[in-house]
Amino acid sequence: MNANEFDVIIIGGGITGAGTQRDCAMRGLRTLLIERSDIATGATGRNHGLLHSGARYAVNDAESARECIEENMILRRIASHCIDETNGLFITLPEDDLAYQQTFVESCLKSGINAEIIDPDLARRLEPSVNPELIGAVKVPDGSVDPFRLCAANMLDAKLHGGQVRLHTEVTGFIKEGDTIKGVHTHNHQNGEDVDYYAPVTVNACGIWGQHIAQMAGVHVGMFPAKGALLIFAHRVNNLVINRCRKPSNADILVPGDTVCIIGTTSTRIPFEECDNVAVTPDEVTLLITEGAKLAPSLSQTRILRAYAGVRPLVSADDDPSGRNISRGIVCLDHEVRDGLKGFVTITGGKLMTYRLMAEMATDVVCRKLGVEKACETAQVPLPGSEEPSYEEVAKKIWESPTMAQKAAAARMGTRAARIRTGDRRDEALICECEEVSVGEINAAIDRLEVSTLTDLRRRTRVGMGTCQGEFCACRAAGLLAKAHGCVARERADLEDFLQERWKGNFPIGWGDTLREAEYTQWVYKHVLGL
Amino acid sequence: MKLQEYTKSRHNFEECMKCTVCTAYCPVLQANPLYPGPKQAGPDGERLRLKDPYFFNQALKYCLNCKRCEVACPSGVHVADLIQSARIKYDHTPPKLRDTLLANTDFMGKMARPFAPIVNGVTGLGITKTILDATLKIDRHRTFPKYSAPGFEYWLGRHKKEQAAFPEQVAYFHGCYVNYNYPQLGKDLVKVLNALGVGVQLLEKEKCCGIALITNGMSAQARKHAEHNVAQLRQAVLDKGLKVLTTSSTCTLTMRDEYPNLLGVDNADVRESLLMATRFIFEKLEKGATLKFKADYHKKIAYHVPCHLEKLGWGIFSVKLLSMIPGVEFILLDSNCCGISGTYGFKKENYEVSQAIGAPLFAQIKSVNPDVVACDCETCKWQIEMSTGYTVMNPISILAEAIE
């Protein structure tokens, strides 16, 4: 059999694509994942990282709420190293209608979400950063999830089940015979090669870009691009997710994720052509800080690390211009049934939270087409790294007395931290001091997780995600990448791109300490290192 | 530029620009590879600890709390405060018996002083040192400070009347060392101040400043000391309108800065009135007061600025006072930590690190070969005397010796 032939080709390296590849691979299919950039570069990596309990959707969208809470419980089991079981609060402020709380709790309970009204005093004790003026609070099983880690773990598991991955490879066209999609033409942006891949089924899992891919295949999927802007603060202000108990609106969720916390979002309809190039505006920054400070007042004096925006992959369903009331529901299209196009499936809509369910639905369609009858196991089998319930357990089993960096590695890699080489002091040296990432951890990522650029490395290890935003770690990590890839010139260009990309996120909030730090970074790289 | 304009964070940890100057200045890091260094232990580690106290690292106990990182930091991050606060907040290991004994300097002083000759004799014996080394892990190389039978408080009590006769009055926080081990320093201060027309009185009842309790993990007890002492300071400063002088740089730093920053004990209303005697004397001389120095005084003095005095920014007052004495050849030693840091160097596990940290200072003293080393810190004094053989005197004692 030709090395370029597979059972299924999945286009899109977001969480839906990676999840679908994992599911297909676990059901015994020969899979290929194609992604034009890196994993989690679209909406997957551009959201809050909120492990929704579903409470946010309970009042308006019971179906989404139910899906969320079910998947929430599944992810706690199968993705323990990617999630943080923080719990969350829905707070009512004096300007909000306290009557809404009752509707909210009833809706939650109906959807199976354990929502519990608690005394405002207790809320203040549980979460000292919360706006002390709150007049009501509901506790829900929200949490946080690291989308990069989750995506990488799905991709890794697909690989462990024989799957192949082509990152930085763009689909340029379809190989079509009559009414059947037989494969794809691709172009690799890094080595410039054009390669054709063949499979009886191709899955379009490209999120918002699915519209474009579908168009290329000759069918229409109308997406509804809605931009959402978010801010990352430099440390955890809160340890519980804080939401506003009111009709979903702007900047009303504050999520603690790893060493930072994130406020968002806004919602603005944008033309499809702008999806590749979204920027955060000064108005959005002002709105996020102002509204954010209503959840946790200290945000107004907390250092901001970055601003970023993502595009929600909503499927247009009505004419609501804000995009808020569109269902977050999953859309799985078998184009053979819908459009008479064989061998092509689109999986879209949905949310980060429901990626596994989306993957299951898409894989079911793929398997039906291929006549494969194996049942889905993704809800039971833990992802690689998640075999232990907590990082304390992981660290305890690997190291006698773990250092701070080893503890941090256990929190990021889960049981895979055992793969970090130790014993040599060079392996234990830190590359990223803000996030405590060692040489050994970087090398483990380079070995297994398809890393070609510093930005890829950042998504998999948190290198450059800390307070210094790459000031010290970027050049060190670049050294390791240059060694791994055997090319200094390419790495030098990559380093420039990486720093440029870091600055892009600093720019909209470029004042105070963030500006000082960015300026210092510029001195280091431009004037000391001559970049 | 006002750095705090936009950002407020505990001990300014968000101001850290990761420049790593603190790490370059840390004396421990160069001598002990187990210590993660001030940047990692301080602002970097803080972000992880905020995520989960699980990320607290026991190796933070290797921090000397010398505060040199804070002096070095160009961004105003209270690096050492971050480290000590983390220890207070997250380290719940009960202190060892040895640490409890070392930390309770005033309790030990009270117990030992009545039997001073016996205690001094016993602690000086080789066999005692061997036993302490083996049982309590107090390093055998260390010499315990000698206890003095009549304490300073007793002595000043006997001179209360004549002191009250001076038109200007100050209160003196003598600290454990002057009261229990070396009353002569207190007497020297009284001599100098009297020569300037200033009478000395005690606080009604002072307690140990508590620094050894803080660094040995007994912060609750330290907080009680702090609350007591601040009440005492208020009595002297607010009720009687006195300045409170000290002769120990560490007691001063502790009461001025560690009380509010580490123990959460507010001292804002008295902080500015608590000063090193050297600063008070220098300011008096600046305003025209004079001291009459001996005509035939000759001494080559090498001055070591203790780390905590450097943090206060007050080394300059000792420098000025010593170099104004006629007949003094004054040498300012390079800025280095001596390595003892109070009770730290007494612990067996820290002995080698402690000596390695102090090595550059000891070498410089030996090459300068002074008649005497001057220093405002009693624990630096023990360390330098033990490690170099040179005598160390407080600048106040040198002043007392040099005046008529």
Predicted pLDDT of residue B38: 97
Q: Which of B11, B29, B54 is the mutation pick for testing A, counting most A CBs within 10 A?
A: B54
Q: What is the 3-state secondary structure (H, E, C) of chain B?
A: CCHHHCCCCHHHHHHCCCCCHHHHHCHHHHHCCCCCCHHHHHHHHHHHHHHCHHHCCHHHHHCCCCCHHHHHCCCCCCHHHHHHHHHHHHCCCCCCHHHHHHHCHHHHHHHHHHHHHHHHHHHHCHHHHHHHHHHCCECCCCCCCCCCCCCHHHHHHHCHHHHHCCCEEEEEECHHHHHHHCHHHHHHHHHHHHHCCEEEEECCCCCCCCHHHHHCCCHHHHHHHHHHHHHHHHHHHHHCCCCEEECCHHHHHHHHHHHHHHCCCCCCCCHHHEEEHHHHHHHHHHCCCCCCECCCCCEEEEECCCHHHHHHCCHHHHHHHHHHCCCEEEEECCCCCCCCCCCHHHEHHHHHHHHHHHHHHHHHHHHHCCCEEECCCHHHHHHHHHHHCCCEECHHHHHHHHEC
Supply φ then ψ for residue B213, to 5 degrees.
-70, -40
Supply φ then ψ for residue B293, to 5 degrees.
-90, 155
Cross-chain Cβ contact A392/B57 below 8 Å: no
Supply φ then ψ for residue B268, to 5 degrees.
-55, -35
Whether residue B55 contacts residue B49, with contact meaning beta carbons closer than 8 Å, is answered with yes
CA distance A77 to A88: 19
Predicted pLDDT of residue A327: 56
Cross-chain Cβ contact A433/B40 below 8 Å: yes
Q: Which of B20, B55, B90, B91 is the mutation pick for testing A, counting most A CBs within 10 A?
A: B55
pLDDT one-digit tens code per residue, B318-349: 999 999 999 999 999 999 999 998 888 888 98
CA distance A351 to A357: 10
Cross-chain Cβ contact B39/A433 below 8 Å: yes
* pLDDT of A476 over the 60 cut: yes
Compare CB distances from B50 to A235, A303, A434 and report the shortest one's residue.
A235
- Mean pLDDT calculated for residue range B31-35: 91
Supply φ then ψ for residue A69, to 5 degrees.
-65, -35
**Does A188 lie at the interface with B, CB-CB under 8 angstroms?**
no
| Numbered residues of chain B with Cβ closer than 8 Å to any chain A Cβ | 3, 5-9, 13-20, 36, 39-40, 43-48, 50-51, 54-55, 57-59, 75
CA distance A138 to B65: 44
* pLDDT of B3 over the 50 cut: no
How would residue B6 be classed by pLDDT, with cut points 50, 70 and 90?
Answer: low
Lowest mean pLDDT of A107-111, A366-370, B116-120, B189-193, name the range. B116-120
Q: How many CA atoms lie within 13 A of B130 on its CB side?
A: 3
Whether residue B338 contacts residue B384, with contact meaning beta carbons closer than 8 Å, is answered with yes
Predicted pLDDT of residue B310: 97
User: Distance of alpha carbon B294 from its chain centroid, rounded?
Assistant: 30
Calculate the average pLDDT of chain B: 93
Supply φ then ψ for residue A168, to 5 degrees.
55, 30
Cross-chain Cβ contact A236/B14 below 8 Å: no
How would residue A531 be classed by pLDDT, with cut points 50, 70 and 90?
Answer: confident
Predicted pLDDT of residue B1: 34
- Mean pLDDT calculated for residue range B289-296: 96
DSSP A316: P
CA distance A399 to A405: 12
Q: Among residues 281-300 of chain A, which lie with CB inside 8 Å of chain B?
A: 298
Cross-chain Cβ contact B47/A256 below 8 Å: no
What is the chain B residue with the closest CA to A523?
B19
* pLDDT of A321 over the 50 cut: no
Q: Six-digit token pair at A36?
A: 């034009």
- Mean pLDDT calculated for residue range B125-142: 83
- All residues of chain A having their beta carbon less than 8 Å from the beta carbon of residue B93 are none
* pLDDT of A320 over the 50 cut: no
Cross-chain Cβ contact B36/A403 below 8 Å: yes
What is the chain B residue with the closest CA to A471?
B18
* pLDDT of A179 over the 70 cut: yes
How would residue A30 be classed by pLDDT, with cut points 50, 70 and 90?
Answer: very high
Whether residue A402 contacts residue B58, with contact meaning beta carbons closer than 8 Å, is answered with no
Compare CB distances from B5 to A235, A430, A512 and report the shortest one's residue.
A512
Find the helix or strand (DSSP H, E) in which A32 lies.
Answer: strand A31-34
Q: Among residues 290-349 of chain A, which lie with CB inside 8 Å of chain B?
A: 298, 301-303
Cross-chain Cβ contact A468/B45 below 8 Å: no
- All residues of chain B having their beta carbon less than 8 Å from the beta carbon of residue A468 are 17-18
Please identify which residue in the block is written with the tokens 């579908």.
Answer: A214
Predicted pLDDT of residue A324: 52
**Does A406 lie at the interface with B, CB-CB under 8 angstroms?**
no
Predicted pLDDT of residue A328: 60
Q: Is A172 left (phi over 0), alpha (psi -120 to 50) or beta?
A: alpha
Higher local confidence (pLDDT), B142 or A45: A45
Higher local confidence (pLDDT), A92 or B142: A92
Calculate the average pLDDT of chain A: 94
Cross-chain Cβ contact B55/A404 below 8 Å: yes
CA distance B31 to B337: 12
What is the chain B residue with the closest CA to A406?
B55
Predicted pLDDT of residue B114: 79
- Mean pLDDT calculated for residue range B175-201: 96
Q: Count of A–B CB contacts within 8 Å?
A: 86
% of chain A residues with pLDDT over 70:
97
- All residues of chain A having their beta carbon less than 8 Å from the beta carbon of residue B15 are 513
Whether residue A498 contacts residue A479, with contact meaning beta carbons closer than 8 Å, is answered with no
What's the farthest any 2 CA atoms get from each other in chain A?
68
- All residues of chain A having their beta carbon less than 8 Å from the beta carbon of residue B17 are 468, 513, 516-517, 520
Positive or negative CA dihedral for A339, A340, A341, A342? positive
| Neighbour count for residue B362 (Cβ, 10 Å) | 20
How would residue B2 be classed by pLDDT, with cut points 50, 70 and 90?
Answer: very low
* pLDDT of B176 over the 90 cut: yes
Please identify which residue in the block is written with the tokens 């002390």.
Answer: A132
Nearest chain B CA: its distance from A286 CA (Å): 14
* pLDDT of A317 over the 60 cut: no
Cross-chain Cβ contact B17/A391 below 8 Å: no
Predicted pLDDT of residue B118: 82
Nearest chain B CA: its distance from A380 CA (Å): 28
Predicted pLDDT of residue A316: 60
* pLDDT of A1 over the 60 cut: no
- All residues of chain A having their beta carbon less than 8 Å from the beta carbon of residue B77 are none
% of chain A residues with pLDDT over 90:
89
* pLDDT of B4 over the 60 cut: no
% of chain B residues with pLDDT over 90:
79
Whether residue A345 contacts residue A365, with contact meaning beta carbons closer than 8 Å, is answered with yes
Nearest chain A CA: its distance from B78 CA (Å): 16
pLDDT one-digit tens code per residue, B52-108: 999 999 999 999 999 999 999 999 999 999 999 999 999 988 888 888 888 888 787
For chain B, give the number of residues.
404
Predicted pLDDT of residue A59: 95
Predicted pLDDT of residue B119: 81
* pLDDT of B41 over the 60 cut: yes
Q: Six-digit token pair at A198?
A: 């063949």
* pLDDT of A318 over the 60 cut: no
Q: Six-digit token pair at B187?
A: 């007497």
